[in-house]
Amino acid sequence: MKTEDVARFRSVLGEQREHVRRQLADLGANPDEDTIEPAGFDYGFADSAQSTAERAKVLATVESLRAELHDIDTAIARIDKGTYGSCERCETPISPERLEALPRTRLCVACKQKERV
């Protein structure tokens, strides 16, 4: 991969990382902690009839944001190691189109499809 492409992906990933961290913070979750349950989460929800449904929804969102953040961090670490852009499983270079669409992707299309089965 060309140096300027790597630099561009790094900056895109950096922006996405900030964005996800901000979303987590907005939901009351600490972006630096791995716990799913945001700290002080019950506050303000206790008396609401919708609390259980609301809570489940927020937790699901937090969980998926954390997974996204983890993938972004991994992608940035792989840029630092010089292994960015190749599949984590089979080490085939991931297509540029796929990286453009999803810069944090860890697997090539073939491995991703195998994972879904």
- Of positions 22, 90, 114, 115, contacts Zn ion by CB under 5 A: 90
94 binds Zn ion (CB under 5 A): no
For the chain, the C-alpha Rg in angstroms (whole number) is 17
List CB contacts of 6: < 8 A, sequence separation 6 or more. Answer: 79, 84, 85
List CB contacts of 106: < 8 A, sequence separation 6 or more. Answer: 71, 74, 75, 87, 88
87 binds Zn ion (CB under 5 A): yes
The distance of Cα 9 from the centroid of its chain, to the nearest Å, equals 14
- Of positions 6, 12, 27, 111, contacts Zn ion by CB under 5 A: 111
Candidates 22-30, 34-42, 73-81, 87-95; binding stretch for Zn ion (CB under 5 A): 87-95
Please report how close the Cβ of residue 86 comes to Zn ion at its closest, in angstroms: 8
Residue ranges that bind Zn ion, judged by CB under 5 A: 87, 89-90, 108, 111
